[in-house]
C-alpha cells in the first residue's frame, strides 16, 4: 500500500511539472515491470520470448488493479513506462546471458515494424545492448527524441497516442522518429561493423 | 540559430530531409557555412536513412565526391604552384601543378581535404608517403613528394599522367576484346608489382586507371594502400573511414573486414567486367546504399553475356572469359584468384586459346547457385505467386545467384545440391526446366531428411511449403507436409497452420477448419502465426463463399501487415476479391487505391507491388461480374504490365486469362483467343506444362477455339496434349474433366465412335466412375448416352433415346456398346 501511495504521490508531483518525479516514478514501477517480465517470459516455438509491448500492457493492468494508482490514462502511463520497459528488457538479457548480443536465447519482441525501420532488414537481429547504449546517448543529447523511440519500440502506442502522451503534435513525433532512425542506424551500423571484425 | 551542437544538427537535418533528395546536400553545405564538421555530420546521417539513394547519398561516397572548395589557381603549396583541378580522389582534389624552381616539370598534386586530417588520417597519409616511395613501376604513377604547407594543408605530389580513363579509352578506340585484355594485362603487371612489394591498393577503380596517349597504362592513387608486412608498424587493418569506392568495393570491404591481395583481384574483376561487357555489373542508379551493398554481398553478377543482352547490346563474349571474370568476382576470397599472376596466366591462356583454369564449373558451385536461388525464394517466401515465379525463373534463366555466404545450413546445401543435380537446371540449353520441376526435385530430396527431425530442416521445409503454396502447387505442398509429418513428433504452430492452409486450398474446408482449431488458441500464437491464422481463416471463408466474413478476415490480415511484408499484396488482393464477390466493387477498388497510395510511401514507382495491385484491381472487376468494365479496362492493364514483366510472366498470364474469360462470357470467342493463347503461353513458360494453371489456361483456349469452330486439328492435338499432361494422381480430376470435354467435342463433331470409346474407357480404372465429381459424372452420363445412340449401339423405335431405354433394349454385338450399356444400366438402376 505504501508503494501505491508513493506512486500516486509521485504522479501528482509529475503532473505538476516536477521533472525529478519522473525518474522516481520510473524507479517505482521498475520492480513491477520486473515481476511482470519474470512471469511473462514465454516458451515459444522459436525459443523464449519476451514481448516488450505485452510487458508494458501487463504491468499497466497490474498497476491499475493492484495499486489503485491514479493514472490519467493509458498514454500517461506508457510515457513513463517506455524507458523502464527498455531497462527491464536489457537488464533481463544482461543477467541471463553471457552473450548479450542479439539477446542471447531470448527473443525480444518489440513493435516489429519499428524494429525493422531501425535495423533496415530482418536479416540480422537487433543488437540490444548496442541499441540500449545508443538510446542512452541519444537521451543525453536529445531527450524528447529518445523518449519517442522508447515509446515507439516498447509500448503499443501509435504516433497519435505518442503525440498525446508527449503533449506534442503527430508531426513532431514523426520528425523525432525520422531523425532517430537515421541516427540509430548510424550508431548501430558502427556497432555492427565492430562486431564483424 | 541554437548554439547547442546537437540542436544545430537536428535543425539542419530536419530541414534537409523535408527537401527533395537532390537538393539536400547543397542545402546542408550552404546552411552550415564554415561549420564543415556539422555539414559532414548531417550529410552522413542523411545517408543512413531508408530513403537514401546510392547515387546521391551514402556517406562515404558523399565524402568522396563532395565538391570541396577548389583552391585558387596560382596558389602555392610548399614548392609547388597549383593550376587547374584535374580530378578528385577519395581524399581530396587533384591539381595540375609544377615546381616553382623547375617549371618544366608538371606534376599532379593531391590536396588532402581538411576533414581527413584527423590524427589517424594524417598518419595514414604519412604511411602513404613511405609506401609510394617503394613503388617503382612503369604502370604506376610514381610518387614524388608529400608534405604539409605552412597552413597545415597536407598534399601528395605524384607523376602527372596525361591520359584517359581505361574504360573511355576502350570505347573511344573501339578496342576489340583482345586489345582490351592486352591493355588490362598491363594493369595487372603494375598491380602485381605492388603486391610483390607487399602493398595492396584497395581502391582500384575505373577512375584510377588511365591510359596515356602512347598506350601506356598508369595506375593512380595508392590512397589507402596497406602494407602487408608490419615492418613499418603501420597495421591499420579494418580501416573504419570507409574510403573505398562503393561501386567497386569487395564484399569484405563492405563488411569492414581486413583486405588482402584478393581484394584487389576483386576490384580488378569489376573493372575488367565493365571493360569487356561495356556496362557495369550492377546498376547502381536506383538502389539505396543498403541495397547495393546487399547485392555486392549476396548477388553474383550476371554473366557479361547476359548483362549485355539485358541492355539490348549484342556481340558475343566468350564463355571462358566470362568464367575468368566470374572467378575474380567471387564473394568468398578463397575462391578468387589467389594472386595477380594466376589471374594474368588465365588471361594469357585465354588469348592463346588454351583451356583456362575455370572452364566448366564444378557440381558444387552449381549446387551453391541452387541454394542461392532457394535463399532468394526464402526471402520472398509466400509473396504472391508471381514474385516467387519470377525469382525462380529468372534465376534459372539468367544464372543469377544469391550467395549463401552466411548460410550455416550445410545440411540445406546438401539437400539442395541433390535437388539441383537431379533437376539439372544447368542443362538449360537442353530442355525446359520449370520452377515446379525444381521444387519437385527438392521435395523428393528433402523427404528422407524429414525423418531426421532436424530443426534446421524444418525451417527449410517450412520455406519450401510456403513457396509451394504461394505458387499454387497445392499437391506438392501436401506431399511436403506428409513428408514432414513422418519425421517429426513435435509440430510447430506454423506447420499446423500451413497444413490447415493446404486443406483449405485443396477445397477440403471442413478438414481445414478442424485442422485450424487444432493449432491452438489464437492468443497462444506468435504475431506472424496469428496473421497466418487469420489468412487461413480468410481462405476458408472465401471458399465457403461467405464473402462478408472473408472480407473482414482479410481486412484484419491487411491491417496487421506493413506494405513491406511479403503477404501484404496478397492480403489486399484477397480482401478486394471478397468485397467484389460480395457486390461491393466500389469498396474493393477504393481499398486497392488506398493500398496503392500507401505503397507509394514504401516503394519506388517501378516496384512490382504496384503491378500486383493493378492485377488485383482487374481480378476484383472480374469477380464482380462487371464484364463491360473488365473489357474496357482489362486490355489497358495488360498493356501496362506486359512491358514490365515480359509477356511471358505468370502475372501477365493471369491478367490475360481474366480478359480472355471476359470475352468468353460475352460470347466473343474470336476476341478471346489471342488473350487466352498468351495466357497459356505465359503459364507454360513460367509454371511448366504440367501445372494446373497451365492446363486450365489451355482448356480455356481450347474451349474458345472450339466455340469459334476454328482449327479442328489444333483443338484435337491440344486436347490430347492436356490429357497426356494431366495423367497424374494429383491431376486426376482435371484429367477426367478433359476427357469428358474432349468426348463432347468429338461427339459434336460427329466422331461418335471415338467419343464412346473414350467415355467407356474412363470406367476401366480401379475406381470405376465413382471418382468423378457430380458435374463431371452428369456430363459423362449424358454424353455416354448420346454417343451410345449416335453409334447405333441399339435401336429405339419409340425414339426416346434415354438411358432407361438403352438399358431395356438389346445392344449390338459390340464390346464397346455392351460396356456402355452396362454403364448406362448401372446408373439408371442405381439412381
Contact A49/B at CB under 8 A: yes
Contact B295/A at CB under 8 A: no
HSE-CB at A164 with a 13 A cutoff on CA atoms is 12
Instruction: Give A121's contacts in chain B (Cβ within 8 Å).
Output: 290
Report pLDDT for B72: 55
Q: Which pLDDT tens digit goes with each residue over B631-656?
A: 998 988 888 887 776 677 777 888 89
What is the pLDDT averaged over residues B461-466? Answer: 69
Residue B225, C-alpha cell as written in the block:
594502400
Q: Which of A117, A179, A189 sits opposite B14 (nearest CB)?
A: A179
Q: Do A182 and B240 touch (CB under 8 A)?
A: no
Residue B544, C-alpha cell as written in the block:
465457403
Given pLDDT bands bounded at 50, 70 and 90, which one contains residue B422? very low
Which of B61-75, B297-311, B439-453, B620-634 bottoms out in mean pLDDT, i.e. has the lowest? B61-75
pLDDT exceeds cutoff 70 at B194: yes
Report pLDDT for A42: 54
pLDDT exceeds cutoff 80 at B188: yes
Given pLDDT bands bounded at 50, 70 and 90, which one contains residue B472? low
Q: Which pLDDT tens digit goes with each residue over B515-565?
A: 888 888 888 888 878 888 999 999 999 989 899 999 999 998 998 888 776
What is the DSSP secondary structure assignment for residue B59, as one 8-state letter? H
Most A CBs within 10 A among B8, B256, B298, B490, hence the mutation to make, goes to B256
Contact A197/B at CB under 8 A: yes
Q: Do A179 and B13 touch (CB under 8 A)?
A: yes
| Phi and psi at residue B93, to the nearest 5° | -80, 150
Highest averaged pLDDT of the listed ranges B39-53, B289-303, B528-542, B783-797: B528-542
Q: Do B48 and A113 touch (CB under 8 A)?
A: no
Nearest-neighbour CA in chain B from A103: distance (Å): 18
Report pLDDT for B593: 94
Report pLDDT for B595: 93
Instruction: Look over chain A and give the mean of its residue pLDDT values, rounded to a whole number.
Output: 70
Given pLDDT bands bounded at 50, 70 and 90, which one contains residue B626? confident
Picking from B390, B272, B407, the residue whose alpha carbon sits closest to that of residue B332 is: B407
Q: Which of B258, B290, B527 sits opposite A112 (nearest CB)?
A: B527
Cα dist from B89 to A143, B153, B206, whole Å: 39, 16, 12
Contact A24/B at CB under 8 A: no
Report pLDDT for A195: 35
Given pLDDT bands bounded at 50, 70 and 90, which one contains residue B73? low
Q: Give the three-state DSSP class for B164.
A: strand
Contact A109/B at CB under 8 A: yes
H, E, C per residue of chain A: CHHHHHHHHHHHHHHCCCHHHHHHHHHHHHHHHHHHHHHHCEEECCEEEEEHHHHHHHHHHHHHHHHCCCCCCHHHHHHHHHHHHHHHHHHHHHHHCCCCHHHCCEEEECCHHHHHHHHCCCCCCCCHHHHHHHHHHHHHHCHHHHHHHHHHHHCCCCHHHHHHHHCCCHHHHHHHHHHHHHHHHHHHHHHHHHHHC
Contact B255/A at CB under 8 A: yes
Which of A49-58, B448-457, B605-614 bottoms out in mean pLDDT, i.e. has the lowest? B448-457
Report pLDDT for A40: 61
Instruction: Give A46's contacts in chain B (Cβ within 8 Å).
Output: 526
Distance CA A26, CA A87 (A): 10
H, E, C per residue of B267-325: HHHHHHHHHHHCCCCCCCCCCCHHHHHHHHHHCCCCCHHHHHHHCCCCCCCCHHHHHHH
Distance CA B807, CA B824 (A): 7
pLDDT exceeds cutoff 90 at B786: no
Contact B290/A at CB under 8 A: yes
Q: Do A182 and B493 touch (CB under 8 A)?
A: no
Distance CA A14, CA B716 (A): 84
Contact B494/A at CB under 8 A: yes
Q: Which pLDDT tens digit goes with each residue over B376-420?
A: 333 332 222 223 333 333 333 222 222 222 222 233 333 333 333
Given pLDDT bands bounded at 50, 70 and 90, which one contains residue B716? very high
pLDDT exceeds cutoff 80 at B166: yes
Most A CBs within 10 A among B17, B48, B496, hence the mutation to make, goes to B48
**Does B15 or B474 have the greater pLDDT score?**
B15
pLDDT exceeds cutoff 80 at A57: no
**Does B583 or B334 have the greater pLDDT score?**
B583
Q: Do B527 and A46 touch (CB under 8 A)?
A: no
Which of A39-48, B65-74, B133-142 bottoms out in mean pLDDT, i.e. has the lowest? B65-74
Instruction: Give B6's contacts in chain A (Cβ within 8 Å).
Output: 141-142
What is the pLDDT averaged over residues B219-230? Answer: 50
Q: What is the ipTM of this complex?
A: 0.80
Q: Do A117 and B50 touch (CB under 8 A)?
A: yes
Which of B184-198, B471-485, B740-754 bottoms out in mean pLDDT, i.e. has the lowest? B471-485
Report pLDDT for B592: 94
pLDDT exceeds cutoff 90 at A28: no
Q: Do A182 and B13 touch (CB under 8 A)?
A: yes
Q: Do A181 and B238 touch (CB under 8 A)?
A: no
pLDDT exceeds cutoff 80 at B488: no
Instruction: Look over chain B and give the mean of its residue pLDDT values, rounded to a whole number.
Output: 74
Instruction: Give A113's contacts in chain B (Cβ within 8 Å).
Output: 562
pLDDT exceeds cutoff 80 at B820: yes
What is the pLDDT averaged over residues B49-75? Answer: 38
Q: Which pLDDT tens digit goes with each residue over A167-187?
A: 888 888 888 988 888 888 778
Instruction: Give A194's contacts in chain B (Cβ within 8 Å).
Output: 256
Let me know: does B458 contact B371? Beta carbons within 8 Å: no
Q: Which of B6, B46, B564 sits opposite A142 (nearest CB)?
A: B6
Q: Do A49 and B526 touch (CB under 8 A)?
A: yes
Contact B2/A at CB under 8 A: no
pLDDT exceeds cutoff 90 at B437: no
Amino acid at each position: 500500500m505504501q508503494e501505491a501511495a508513493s506512486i500516486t504521490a509521485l504522479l501528482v508531483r509529475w503532473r505538476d511539472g516536477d521533472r525529478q518525479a519522473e525518474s522516481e516514478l520510473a524507479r517505482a514501477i521498475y520492480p513491477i515491470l520486473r515481476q511482470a517480465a519474470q512471469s511473462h517470459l514465454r516458451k515459444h516455438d522459436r525459443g523464449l520470448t519476451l514481448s516488450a509491448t505485452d510487458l508494458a500492457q501487463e504491468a499497466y493492468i497490474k498497476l491499475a488493479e493492484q495499486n489503485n494508482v491514479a493514472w490519467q490514462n493509458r498514454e500517461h502511463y506508457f510515457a513513463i513506462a517506455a524507458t523502464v520497459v527498455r531497462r527491464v528488457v536489457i537488464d533481463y538479457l544482461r543477467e541471463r546471458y553471457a552473450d548479450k548480443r542479439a539477446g542471447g536465447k531470448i527473443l525480444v519482441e518489440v513493435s516489429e515494424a519499428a524494429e525493422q525501420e531501425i535495423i533496415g532488414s530482418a536479416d540480422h537481429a537487433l543488437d540490444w545492448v548496442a541499441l540500449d547504449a545508443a538510446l542512452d546517448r541519444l537521451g543525453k543529447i536529445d531527450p524528447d527524441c529518445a523518449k519517442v523511440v522508447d515509446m515507439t519500440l516498447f509500448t503499443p502506442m501509435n504516433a497519435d497516442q505518442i503525440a498525446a502522451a508527449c503533449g506534442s503534435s503527430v508531426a513532431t513525433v514523426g520528425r523525432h522518429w525520422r531523425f532517430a532512425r537515421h541516427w540509430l542506424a548510424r550508431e548501430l551500423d558502427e556497432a555492427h561493423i565492430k562486431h564483424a571484425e | 540559430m541554437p548554439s547547442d551542437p546537437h540542436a544545430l544538427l537536428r535543425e539542419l537535418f530536419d530541414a534537409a530531409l523535408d527537401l527533395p533528395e537532390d537538393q539536400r546536400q547543397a542545402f546542408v553545405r550552404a546552411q552550415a557555412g564554415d561549420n564543415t564538421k556539422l555539414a559532414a555530420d548531417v550529410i552522413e546521417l542523411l545517408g543512413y536513412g531508408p530513403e537514401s539513394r546510392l547515387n546521391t547519398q551514402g556517406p562515404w561516397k558523399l565524402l568522396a565526391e563532395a565538391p570541396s572548395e577548389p583552391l585558387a589557381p596560382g596558389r602555392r603549396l610548399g614548392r609547388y604552384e597549383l593550376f587547374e583541378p584535374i580530378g578528385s580522389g577519395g581524399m581530396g582534389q587533384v591539381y595540375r601543378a609544377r615546381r616553382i624552381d623547375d617549371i618544366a616539370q608538371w606534376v599532379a598534386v593531391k590536396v588532402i581535404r581538411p576533414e581527413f586530417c584527423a590524427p589517424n588520417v594524417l598518419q595514414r597519409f604519412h604511411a602513404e608517403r613511405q609506401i609510394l616511395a617503394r613503388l617503382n613501376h612503369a604502370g604506376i604513377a610514381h610518387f614524388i613528394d608529400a608534405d604539409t604547407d605552412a597552413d597545415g594543408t597536407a598534399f601528395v605530389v605524384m607523376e602527372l599522367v596525361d591520359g584517359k580513363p581505361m574504360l573511355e579509352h576502350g570505347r573511344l578506340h573501339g578496342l576489340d576484346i583482345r586489345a582490351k585484355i592486352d591493355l588490362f594485362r598491363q594493369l595487372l603487371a603494375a598491380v602485381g608489382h605492388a603486391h610483390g612489394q607487399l602493398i595492396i591498393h584497395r581502391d582500384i577503380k575505373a577512375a584510377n586507371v588511365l591510359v596515356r596517349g602512347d598506350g601506356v597504362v598508369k595506375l593512380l592513387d595508392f590512397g589507402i594502400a596497406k602494407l602487408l608486412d608490419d615492418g613499418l608498424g603501420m597495421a591499420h587493418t579494418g580501416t573504419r573511414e570507409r574510403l573505398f569506392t562503393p561501386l567497386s568495393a569487395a564484399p569484405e570491404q563492405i563488411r569492414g573486414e581486413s583486405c588482402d591481395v584478393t581484394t584487389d583481384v576483386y576490384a580488378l574483376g569489376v573493372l575488367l567486367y565493365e571493360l569487356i561487357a561495356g556496362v557495369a555489373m550492377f546498376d547502381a542508379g536506383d538502389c539505396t546504399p543498403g541495397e547495393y551493398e546487399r547485392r555486392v554481398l549476396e548477388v553474383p553478377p550476371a554473366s557479361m553475356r547476359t548483362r549485355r543482352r539485358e541492355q539490348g547490346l549484342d556481340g558475343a563474349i566468350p564463355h571462358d572469359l566470362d568464367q575468368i571474370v566470374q572467378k575474380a568476382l567471387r564473394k568468398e576470397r578463397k575462391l578468387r584468384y589467389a594472386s595477380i599472376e594466376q589471374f594474368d596466366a588465365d588471361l594469357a591462356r585465354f588469348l592463346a586459346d588454351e583451356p583456362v583454369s575455370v572452364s566448366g564449373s564444378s557440381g558444387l558451385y552449381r549446387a551453391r547457385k541452387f541454394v542461392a536461388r532457394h535463399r532468394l525464394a526464402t526471402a520472398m517466401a509466400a509473396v504472391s505467386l508471381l514474385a516467387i515465379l519470377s525469382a525462380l525463373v529468372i534465376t534459372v534463366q539468367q544464372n543469377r545467384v544469391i550467395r549463401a555466404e552466411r548460410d550455416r545450413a550445410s545440411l540445406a546445401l546438401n539437400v539442395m545440391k541433390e535437388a539441383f543435380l537431379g533437376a539439372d537446371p544447368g542443362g538449360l540449353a537442353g530442355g525446359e526446366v520449370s520452377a515446379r520441376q525444381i521444387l519437385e526435385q527438392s521435395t523428393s530430396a528433402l523427404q528422407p531428411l524429414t525423418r531426421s527431425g532436424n530443426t534446421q530442416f524444418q525451417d527449410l521445409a517450412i520455406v519450401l511449403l510456403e513457396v509451394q503454396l504461394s505458387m499454387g502447387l497445392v499437391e506438392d505442398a501436401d506431399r511436403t507436409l506428409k513428408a514432414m509429418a513422418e519425421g517429426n513428433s513435435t509440430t510447430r504452430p506454423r506447420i499446423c497452420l500451413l497444413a490447415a492452409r493446404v486443406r483449405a486450398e485443396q477445397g477440403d474446408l471442413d478438414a481445414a477448419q478442424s485442422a485450424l482449431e487444432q493449432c491452438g488458441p489464437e492468443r497462444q500464437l506468435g504475431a506472424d502465426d496469428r496473421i497466418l491464422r487469420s489468412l487461413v481463416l480468410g481462405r476458408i471463408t472465401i471458399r465457403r463463399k461467405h464473402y462478408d466474413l472473408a472480407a473482414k478476415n482479410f481486412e484484419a490480415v491487411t491491417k496487421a501487415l506493413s506494405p513491406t511484408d511479403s503477404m501484404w499484396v496478397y492480403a489486399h488482393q484477397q480482401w478486394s476479391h471478397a468485397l467484389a464477390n460480395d457486390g461491393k466493387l466500389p469498396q474493393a477498388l477504393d481499398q486497392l487505391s488506398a493500398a496503392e497510395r500507401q505503397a507509394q510511401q514504401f516503394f519506388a514507382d517501378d516496384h512490382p507491388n504496384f503491378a500486383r495491385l493493378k492485377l488485383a484491381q482487374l481480378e476484383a472487376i472480374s469477380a464482380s461480374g462487371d464484364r463491360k468494365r473488365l473489357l474496357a479496362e482489362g486490355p489497358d492493364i495488360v498493356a501496362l504490365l506486359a512491358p514490365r514483366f515480359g509477356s511471358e510472366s505468370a502475372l501477365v498470364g493471369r491478367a490475360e486469362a481474366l480478359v480472355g474469360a471476359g470475352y468468353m462470357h460475352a460470347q466473343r470467342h474470336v476476341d478471346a483467343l489471342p488473350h487466352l493463347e498468351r495466357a497459356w503461353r505465359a503459364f507454360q513458360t513460367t509454371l511448366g506444362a504440367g501445372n494446373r494453371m497451365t492446363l486450365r489456361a489451355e482448356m480455356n483456349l481450347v474451349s474458345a477455339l472450339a466455340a469459334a469452330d476454328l482449327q479442328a486439328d489444333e483443338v484435337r492435338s491440344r486436347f490430347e496434349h492436356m490429357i497426356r499432361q494431366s495423367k497424374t494422381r494429383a491431376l486426376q480430376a482435371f484429367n477426367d474433366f478433359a476427357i469428358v470435354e474432349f468426348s463432347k467435342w468429338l461427339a459434336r463433331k460427329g466422331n461418335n465412335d471415338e467419343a464412346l470409346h473414350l467415355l467407356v474407357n474412363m470406367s476401366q480404372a480401379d475406381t470405376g466412375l465413382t471418382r468423378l465429381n457430380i458435374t463431371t459424372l452428369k456430363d459423362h452420363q449424358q454424353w455416354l448416352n448420346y454417343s451410345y445412340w449416335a453409334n447405333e449401339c441399339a435401336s429405339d423405335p419409340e425414339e426416346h433415346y434415354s438411358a432407361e431405354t438403352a438399358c431395356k433394349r438389346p445392344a449390338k454385338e459390340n464390346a464397346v456398346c455392351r460396356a456402355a450399356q452396362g454403364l448406362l444400366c448401372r446408373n439408371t438402376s442405381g439412381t
